[in-house]
Amino acid sequence: MARERSLAELYASDPERADAVAFGRRGALKGASLAAMGAAIGAAIPFANRMPAGLFPAALAQPAGQPPTLRMDGKAALVVLGERPFVAETPEAMLDDDVTPADRMFIRNNGGVPERFAADPRAWRIKVEGEADTPLDLALGEIESRFENVTLRLQMECGGNGRAAFVPETRGNQWGNGAISNAEWTGVRLRDLLRAAGMKETSRFTGQYGADPHLSGDPARPSISRGMPIAKAMEDTTILAFRMNGQPIPQIHGYPARLVVPGWPGSLSQKWFNRIVLRATPHDGPGMGATSYRLPVRPIVPGSNNNGADFADMTSMPVRALLTNVAHGTRLPAGTRRIEVRGQAWAGDLTVRAVHVSADFGATWREMTVNPPPNRHSWQRWTGNVELPTDGYYEIWTRATDSEGRMQPHAAANWNPQGYGANPMARTALLIG
């Protein structure tokens, strides 16, 4: 047990040294280290001979101590990542539903949570301003009755999902893979609203605002205010939503109205949405420019300082798959030789072409069945099974490929100071016996 703690702690504070301790010289897996690893895990590792040198078992790659669990009315036991602003992640095994229930949606706030709008939600006002011939100031009830209503299953993923995978560590919430949801949203297409405002030729970007207060308490400062190129705002699936899973949107998720801009960083999906400005130039609100929601165009040295001047704004989120029916750290009865596996996969604006699963540290891969999305920008269900030749410690590696042939990498790539866009394949520790 002493050994387990020391290895896990060393990994948390200094992963490279921990790997050196466990594996010795690069490329050579030492018998003694392997025994130590097996002892730390408490089981034999049937595919130990296939473990890549330098790999640290997922079972041990956990920071010491348990993160706090969310206790909030209407929410499941999510993992709390931050109190101020309030941020909570959904464990992967809670994302098994095709339509994410309200209680299982991750929470990401940049500022405070506004007071609940006490009046009839249909009286909530939304403004469309800027490069428009006929700027609008409409009540939500009028928007709902004037424009066609649509109901769609839409992914919403934080731009920082997967951030904890970056080495060296980057600043920001240390998301695992659970900053993703796929609820069923009802609303109107944002493009209908923008057209009704008589958008001008010069409308090339948006800037969007919500009612949540900045943490400083300064009423003149938005907590976050991001914007997108006009083409994304005009897509079929970019909506102004007023219902989620057939119910009013929960307060914490933006009641009574929010944008849903699926496939792109979740920060564009403004909660408590009350104003959009059409612009000739890119938006300049908090969350725009420098290294915010921007990625290096040419790779930079991991850990180096960079002001982001030559970075590009994030657009479509990268491909990712999750295993959702087997929780990380699951123990199954001795003699289990075959398990069913399933999960969700998505690829931003693209679709998922394939999901592969490996139980032998990536030496062999089995192709899973991937369902088509029920509508564009929904995640996709995948299913299949894996075989486990003997009792012992396994890792189920899950890896998706997008419709343009891009696969999830083994480790987080394209390091950047704020840790966006990490999509390494998922690793789930599993013990048989």
Ligand X SMILES: Nc1nc2c(c(=O)[nH]1)N[C@H]1C(S)=C(S)[C@@H](COP(=O)(O)O)O[C@H]1N2
Return residues touching Mo ion (CB under 5 A). Answer: 108, 158, 266-267
Question: Bridge partners of 400?
Answer: 355
Binding residues for ligand X, total number by CB under 6 A: 21
326 binds, among ligand X, Mo ion, none (CB under 5 to 8 A by kind): none
Distance CA 100, CA 180 (A): 9
Residue whose CB is less far from ligand X, 109 or 414:
109
Distance CA 257, CA 187 (A): 9
Residue whose CB is less far from Mo ion, 56 or 293:
293
- The phi, psi pair for 287, rounded to 5°, reads 110, 0
Residue whose CB is less far from Mo ion, 270 or 378:
270
Distance CA 415, CA 422 (A): 8
Alpha carbon separation from 302 to 18, 167, 419, 420 (Å, rounded): 19, 7, 10, 13
Distance CA 242, CA 380 (A): 24
Residues 126-155 that bind ligand X (CB under 6 A): none
Among 109, 173, 177, 380, binds ligand X (CB under 6 A): 109
Residues 6 or more apart whose CB falls under 8 angstroms from that of 73 comprise none
Distance CA 318, CA 171 (A): 20
Distance CA 422, CA 210 (A): 27
Nearest Cα neighbor of 364 from 394, 325, 321, 330 is 394
Q: Are strands 320-323 and 366-367 parallel, antiparallel or unpaired?
A: unpaired
Residue whose CB is less far from ligand X, 110 or 380:
110
Question: How many degrees, rounded to 5, is the angle at CA 62 between CA 60 and CA 64?
Answer: 110
Stretch that binds ligand X, among 267-275, 332-340, 372-380, 401-409 (CB under 6 A): 267-275
Secondary structure tally for the chain: helices H, strands E: 6, 23
For 362-370, the CB contacts below 8 A with 24+ separation are 362/50, 362/52, 362/397, 362/410, 363/47, 363/50, 365/399, 368/341, 370/345
Distance CA 242, CA 193 (A): 14
113 touches 252 (CB < 8 A): yes
Cβ 21 to ligand X, closest distance in Å? 37
Question: How many degrees, rounded to 5, is the angle at CA 177 between CA 303 and CA 350?
Answer: 95
Cβ 88 to Mo ion, closest distance in Å? 12
268 touches 237 (CB < 8 A): no
Residue whose CB is less far from ligand X, 154 or 357:
154
Stretch that binds ligand X, among 104-112, 136-144, 165-173, 423-431 (CB under 6 A): 104-112
105 binds ligand X (CB under 6 A): yes
191 binds, among ligand X, Mo ion, none (CB under 5 to 8 A by kind): none
269 binds ligand X (CB under 6 A): yes
185 binds ligand X (CB under 6 A): no
Cβ 217 to ligand X, closest distance in Å? 15
Residue whose CB is less far from ligand X, 223 or 423:
223
Among 58, 107, 154, 345, binds ligand X (CB under 6 A): 107
Stretch that binds ligand X, among 102-110, 128-136, 186-194, 318-326 (CB under 6 A): 102-110
293 binds, among Mo ion, ligand X, none (CB under 5 to 8 A by kind): none
Residues 202-231 that bind ligand X (CB under 6 A): 210, 212, 223-224
158 binds ligand X (CB under 6 A): yes
Stretch that binds ligand X, among 50-58, 264-272, 348-356, 375-383 (CB under 6 A): 264-272
Residue whose CB is less far from ligand X, 156 or 357:
156
Cβ 208 to ligand X, closest distance in Å? 8
Among 108, 320, 328, 381, binds ligand X (CB under 6 A): 108
Residue whose CB is less far from ligand X, 155 or 414:
155
Among 90, 100, 110, 237, binds ligand X (CB under 6 A): 110
Using CB under 6 A as the criterion, which residues of the chain lie in contact with ligand X when the complex forms? Answer: 105-111, 156, 158, 181, 210, 212, 223-224, 253, 266-267, 269-272
